[in-house]
Amino acid sequence: MGQSSYQILAEDAQGEIVVKKSRFLAHLTKVETEEEADAFVRSMKKQYWDARHNCSAFVIGSQNEITRCSDDGEPSGTAGRPMLEVLTGSGLHDTAAVVTRYFGGVLLGTGGLVRAYQSAVKEALSNAHLLTMRLCVPLEIRIPYPCLDRVKGMLEREGACLDIAYSEEVCIKAEVPAEKKDAVLAALVDETSGAARCKAGDARMAAV
């Protein structure tokens, strides 16, 4: 399944820098498909229709299986590629970036453009809140009420995400890191003296 963990954006992020009177506005968003990334780029171009350039880059997949970038009229290799390098170097996945440039009347040169577009994306990243996606195993656990506090505490210590329903018995749905699955199942037996009934699903990536 590829990486056992990677990071994604928890929410959209923005950043702005000014270089020799040119404004560079960076926007980051989470995307899961190339179509979503393209739609985001179009929406930014529509919003900032009066800007000279709306350059873009995106990375999609746990292994960055899809990467694209565009200089949008800037000299070749001075915008989209540097932006993409910042994204891949950051360790973020499933992320699209658009940097809008309002020209300030002073030419920056190719090196200056590269540094400016990279810096704009870095500024947005510095403002970003991130989530870690980990390879997890979903568990559906049924236990008697007297076992709830012990089991809940154990699952929280192991990094599980909890959803608890109460009926004749307690039903807990949890996402357990895949590498901890066997230890958690063994702990469930110990904490409930064998009273726990557990059903494990297929491993999948989940936010923790």
Query: 5-128 in CATH: which number?
Result: 3.30.230.30
- The contacts of residue 121 (CB under 8 Å, 6+ apart) are 15, 26, 28, 57, 83, 86, 87, 97, 99
Q: How many residues does the chain have?
A: 208
- 5-128 shares its CATH topology with 133-207: no
pLDDT value of residue 2: 52
Give 10-residue mean pLDDT values along the chain (208 residues). 77 97 97 96 97 97 92 96 96 96 93 97 96 90 94 87 90 91 93 93 83
pLDDT value of residue 1: 42
The pTM for the full model equals 0.78
Q: Tell me which architecture the domain covering 133-207 has in CATH.
A: 2-Layer Sandwich (3.30)
